[in-house]
Amino acid sequence: MNNNIVVAIDGFSSCGKSTIAKALAKKLDFVYIDTGAMYRAVTLYFLRNEIDLTNQTQVETALSNIHITFKTKDGQANLFLNDEDVSEEIRQMHVASNVSKVAAIPAVRHAMVKQQQLMGKSINIIMDGRDIGTTVFPEAQVKLFMTADPKIRAERRYKELVVKQPDITMEEVFDNLALRDHDDTTRKESPLVQADDAIVLDNSYLTPDEQLAFALDKITPFIKA
């Protein structure tokens, strides 16, 4: 590993990983890389091009045609898929409901991990995902593993979703989160597991400011060293 600092943030869905990652990147002037967005972009490409997920050749050809970059626009890190800004579209339901199948394909994971390792090779980064501290950067100087009470996570997610989907129920949101936790932790390739040397950050009862202070306390010794 070079002299640059890598902060790996892993954890369950809807735990607030990206909120803390963005706040840390801004405070420390590090580059933020949202790896979930990369898997979502691959999913979008596969959907648009009707790629058969069981056809290895089709998957590999598609992967070789996918170029993902992050560009800062209006203070936000936007994701470009082959030079098209797809930051909004990758958050939509058609992508969300297909991404875990795509993220479980070994060839997809290998391609994304390779790109993520290149992105963090020489600059200070905050990278969030599911396998950053275990697979992408096992040598990361700081590893945070975020978790929160499932009921609290579902309540947070419900509040976000109900604005756009007034018919949604709390039960649906809770069940969807439970399913995603199950998929993330049980898939064969790089399942979500806590790295042995990760620091657990349970944010069930912490404010964003308290979480930021906790994380900064762990990271600053490496910056000063």
d(CA 158, CA 61): 38
d(CA 124, CA 129): 17
- Residue 208: what are its φ and ψ, rounded to 5°? -55, -40
- Residue 188: what are its φ and ψ, rounded to 5°? -70, -45
8 Å CB contact between 127 and 7: yes
Rank residues 185 and 220 by Cβ distance to ligand DC and give the closer one: 185
Binding site for ligand DC (CB under 6 A): 13, 35-37, 39-40, 99-100, 103, 129-131, 184
8 Å CB contact between 6 and 23: no
Q: In whole angstroms, how close is the CB of 109 to ligand DC at the nearest point?
A: 7
Q: In whole angstroms, how close is the CB of 161 to ligand DC at the nearest point?
A: 13
Rank residues 20 and 217 by Cβ distance to ligand DC and give the closer one: 20
Q: Give the SS3 label for residue 70.
A: strand
Q: In whole angstroms, how close is the CB of 188 to ligand DC at the nearest point?
A: 12
Q: In whole angstroms, how close is the CB of 56 to ligand DC at the nearest point?
A: 19
> What are the CA-CA distances from residue 156 to residues 37, 112, 174, 184 (Å)?
20, 29, 10, 19
Q: In whole angstroms, how close is the CB of 13 to ligand DC at the nearest point?
A: 5
